[in-house]
Structure formats: structure tokens, C-alpha cells
Structure 1
């Protein structure tokens, strides 16, 4: 397995962090970050959201290591240091949403090759929550799953949604799928937005942590989504919404001030997840794992206890 660049100082994770290149079955190169300090209680597969990258979860990996868990994070195709998919490297793009499952398969093969400790657990954020839900339906070999602000729908006004569908579909049909979705462009939200009333976190320290990453390593930056990505995301969310909930035990954490993903879809999904529950984070924004230290600790303590209480027979897809 080939070593990949890893920005250890920026990540601020456990001391043993390392990155590796993986090749998906269709020839797209992705990157994983691994923190494998002695972890007697298993390994977390950390599925990041759109625009995110391995190093962003270094501090989360440190907190998970303190709780006896190794962490593997991912640069999905089209972002981080993984292969960018179109001529404009700043546009968030994917050809087909199921392609992300090829990345998942490559990661599972790699962690088994590395002998990372079992059982495996899933923590999935935003777009990673969409990818993770699909992966659970395809028998992702995890004992339990936790989601934070999962993208099971994209927040839009009722009047905007039909227009978004039409524009995204039309752009794809006309060969304009590479064009930025309306209202977005070749700029990164964290790199340009002020902390005041930002959509991600209430914690100024975590906001600066994210900004510092992009200032020190601008190659990690991703701008707005392409029309193709938007169409694929809308379609995947619709298809998943029509499916039953997986058999895996699950908790979803949702900030009550969520302004990026569709909170209604999250409430609906968790209300019909037989072995699932919803935990609301009062006044929390989209990235509850990037919230105040107290909120992070409370969420991770809940996750740790939830993982620990799962019997061996709940592991699915192993």
C-alpha cells in the first residue's frame, strides 16, 4: 500500500497518523487517513461530507483514540487529495453517486489488509451520511452506525426544489453537468465566510481550525457543487428515502439550528428506523462534531457507550 501525503500538524490527531493511496475498482485514486493507536475496542470508519478531507477529523480521531477506538477517514473521489474528476479541480463533482460505493469497497479491503482492529463502526457526516446509508443497505460490515447531520435530503424551499431538479437534470442532459450549481462557484465556504452566523459550528476555535487547514494547504479546498453532482445527490436522496431502514442499530445527531440538510427527512427516517434513535443538539449547527468541546465530548461519549452495548451478533455483512 503506497504512502500518501499527510498534513500531520494541521490534523492535530493522535501521534501515529498516516495516509495511504488506494485505487478504486474503476481506476480512481482516493486517499485514506489512519490513526491506529492501540485501540482495543475496534475501528471507526469515518465518512466525511462534501468538501471535507482526512485531516479535518484529526481532533475527532484523537478523542476517539482516548475512547479506545482507531479511526479511518476518507478523501472521497473528487475532493481532498483524491483524484479530481473534471478539468476544474475546485468544482465538487461526481459522475454517478453509486461511484462512491467503489471508494467504500476499496477502504474495506484496505483496512482488512492492514489488520485494523475489529469490530468496525460507522460515523458518517452530511454527504458521508448519504453514502453511509447506501453502504448499510449494501451490507457494510459494521456493528452499528452513527450519523451527524446526514444528507438524506438537501434543504430547499418548496418553490426552489422543482427548479433545482429541472436545472440539474437539464444541465446534465445538455452536457453542462460540469457547470457550478446556481449561487455557488470556485470558492470555499470556510475559506471565505465570517465566523458570525456561519452554518457549521458555534465554536470559534474549531472554525479557526478549519480555516487554518485551507490557508496552509489550499490544495484541500473544494468549491461549490456541479450541476451533475446536484442532480446525482437529489436522485440518490430520493431513492434512499423510498427504501426501508437497514437492520443496523443507529443513532443520528442533529443540531436544532441545522440549515444545510433537510431536517425533515432526518426526522422521518429515524422515526421509521426500528433500531434507531434521534438525538437533538440544542442550538447546534450542521457540524456537531466540530462544535464546542463540551458538545463534542457529550456526543462521543454517547457514541462510545452505544458502540459498546452492541452484541457481537449485530455485526452485519462481515
Structure 2
């Protein structure tokens, strides 16, 4: 059951139910909210909840519903521009904040740490949103559009997706670690050892506080200065919705999930037609790993946006429009 609720800065875990859905989300100049159907919370786990929002298409005929899965440290608000664009080509959109980030329940007392003990949690989040929001309230057919670690979660849940989604598009999928000081296999091993020693909640890398953002010229996420500035302003105005660097347990969980989705015994069970959209200049996740996995999967194919950085939906128009065109074309084939 989904319930509407109000968010107040810094106190979203005690928000009262029954207030207007628009107040669940945060608007600011330069980042207006698309046409909203409803928003609120879905209960999950033990006294936990997911903040979700459902948006309506801006044109007819309506082509179905996209479940939009964000990456680590992304929020519903960061996706407003993309949701507007998807609505303009006929799609309703449902999206949510994963457990452990955004306006959903955090998993540590220290809200700044990006913590996750297993991608089973995010797989269960996907299922909860389907059962509580998508299946009862949204127009079929259903599609999945996922970015980065959201794409990893979609593949992790992939064997169950055939009964849920007609097609999936995975943008800059996190199926292999990007450039790191150590070989990727050692990153997972070290994180696993640290978790076993009781250091799972320790920050693995990155900034301690959400407001600690690097300047545009050194960022690896996007070549678009305006969109980078908008997202930085969002994080500065609502630091309670953002995270610092990932915790050791998050890295260990991601490493296990990456190993699983790259296993033939797993990906052979992913029957949903899937398109991998690879960012050609990705310095956050491994672009070659995405191409290799797409080639290995019978149900998948890949395209590469040459020159694009990791955040394809936040990139310069030259790259972003190519990614959105690939989404539009692939979903039209259904």
C-alpha cells in the first residue's frame, strides 16, 4: 500500500501522512517538477519505506509506463528533466529513492554514509514498487530504464523481470568497476575482509559529507556545466537527500552483485529484451565490461555513445539526445 506524506528538510523519517503529494518532492528554480500523478511512501522491510513518485505523460496516445531506476546517490528530483522528456514522448514514469539514500529510509544512523549490505535489498525495492504502485495504478506495457548501480540492480533482479517489464534499457551499467588504484578483484576482496572484521559502516572512499562536491573541471560525471551546477545546487539546498562516499559494505555488496550478474548461470535467466547504452568516455564504471556482458547475453545488445561521460541523462545535449533516442527507439520495438 502506498501512502502520501509530507517531507520537511532533515526530518523525512517522521513525516506525517495525508498531506498533498506535491509536498513529498522538492522544487527549486531551474528544476521544475513535471506533471505529477501522485507521490508518497511504500512500506518495506522492518519499519522502513521507499519515497516514490508517479508522473503522467504529456501527450497521447500514452505508450505505457517506465520504471526509472536511479544510480547511487541520485534522487527523484535529479531526474525531473528526464521525466519531463519521457512524458513528452508518451510515457508515464514511476521512480523512487532506493533504501539507504534520498528521501527513503536510511540504513545507518549516520545519514551521510551510503550503506547497503546486499543488493537483495534493492531487488526487493523494485518488487515492492511494482506490487504497490506500478501494477495496480499504471498503464501497461511496463518498461525499465536504469542508470549505473540502478542498472546493476535491474540485472540482479533480471530473472524476475520477464513477468514485470517488456523491455529494459541500461544506461552506463555498473557491471564492472571503473579506474581504481587497485585491480577490481582486489577492491571486492578488501571490502569483504573489512566487513568481516566489523568495518562495514566505514567509508570506503569519497567525501565524508554530501556538500563536499568537487569543482566542475575535475568531475568525471558530465561534460555539461549547467546540469552539473543544477545538481550541485540541489545537493547544497537539500543535503538531507544526498550522500557522502560509499561505505565498505556498499562496495562489498556491489562487488558480489557484479560477480553474480556476470555469471552465465545468472544472465542466462535474464529473458527480458535489454539494451545496454554505454558511455564511451566513462571513467566511473567499466564501459568494456558493459559491452562484454551485453555480447554474452542472448537477450541483450549494446550501443555506445562515443565521447559521453558516465551520467548520460545529465550529459550535454549532444550525448544526452543520443541516449534518449536509443531509449525511444528500443521501446518502440515492443
So what's the TM-score if we normalise by structure 1?
A: 0.90
Which residue of structure 1 lines up, in the alignment, with residue 194 of structure 2?
171
Aligned partner of residue 102 in structure 2, secondary structure: coil
8 Å contact kept, 1:153–1:261: yes
Which residue of structure 1 lines up, in the alignment, with residue 290 of structure 2?
266
Which residue of structure 2 lines up, in the alignment, with residue 314 of structure 1?
none
Which residue of structure 2 lines up, in the alignment, with residue 116 of structure 1?
138
Per-residue deviation, 1:3: 1.6
Residue 15 in structure 1 maps to residue 35 in structure 2: yes
Aligned partner of residue 19 in structure 1, secondary structure: strand
Which residue of structure 1 lines up, in the alignment, with residue 206 of structure 2?
184
Report the CA distance shift for 1:217/1:195 in structure 2 as closer, same or farther (over 3 A): same
Structure with higher RCO (Cα < 8 A, 6+ apart): 1
Residue 46 in structure 1 maps to residue 68 in structure 2: yes
1:260-309 Cα deviation digits (max 9, x unpaired): 11222201111122242211111100011111224323322221121121
Q: Distance in 1 between matches of 2:157 and 2:305?
A: 26
Report the CA distance shift for 1:157/1:25 in structure 2 as closer, same or farther (over 3 A): closer
Q: Distance in 1 between matches of 2:51 and 2:302?
A: 31
Query: Does 88-97 or 298-307 show the bigger shift?
Result: 298-307
Q: Distance in 2 between matches of 1:293 and 1:172?
A: 41
Which residue of structure 2 lines up, in the alignment, with residue 205 of structure 1?
226
Per-residue deviation, 1:26: 3.9
Report the CA distance shift for 1:78/1:196 in structure 2 as closer, same or farther (over 3 A): same
Q: Which one of the candidate residues 286, 289, 305 is aligned to 1:281?
A: 305
Per-residue deviation, 1:95: 2.2
Query: Does 122-131 or 265-274 show the bigger shift?
Result: 265-274
Report the CA distance shift for 1:198/1:159 in structure 2 as closer, same or farther (over 3 A): closer
8 Å contact kept, 1:16–1:37: no
Residue 2 in structure 1 maps to residue 3 in structure 2: yes
Q: Distance in 2 between matches of 1:18 and 1:196?
A: 38
Report the CA distance shift for 1:112/1:63 in structure 2 as closer, same or farther (over 3 A): closer
Q: Distance in 2 between matches of 1:83 and 1:157?
A: 30
8 Å contact kept, 1:6–1:18: no
So what's the TM-score if we normalise by structure 2?
A: 0.86
> How does 1:23-102 map onto structure 2 within 5 Å?
23-37=43-57, 40-102=62-124
Query: Does 276-285 or 156-165 show the bigger shift?
Result: 156-165
CA RMSD across the alignment:
2.0
Which residue of structure 2 lines up, in the alignment, with residue 295 of structure 1?
319
Structure 1: 5+ residue stretches without partners: 311-318
Q: Which one of the candidate residues 181, 191, 215 is aligned to 1:194?
A: 215
Which residue of structure 2 lines up, in the alignment, with residue 306 of structure 1?
330
Aligned partner of residue 66 in structure 2, secondary structure: strand
Query: Does 209-218 or 151-160 show the bigger shift?
Result: 151-160
Per-residue deviation, 1:128: 0.2
1:97-142 Cα deviation digits (max 9, x unpaired): 2111111111001224652111110101011011001222123511
Report the CA distance shift for 1:158/1:201 in structure 2 as closer, same or farther (over 3 A): closer
8 Å contact kept, 1:191–1:214: no
Per-residue deviation, 1:55: 0.8
Structure 2: 5+ residue stretches without partners: 6-23
1:5-58 Cα deviation digits (max 9, x unpaired): 211346524232642111114432111122123561001101100111111111
1:239-270 Cα deviation digits (max 9, x unpaired): 11113342211111111111111222201111
Per-residue deviation, 1:153: 1.5
Query: Does 272-281 or 58-67 show the bigger shift?
Result: 272-281
Q: Distance in 1 between matches of 2:85 and 2:290?
A: 26
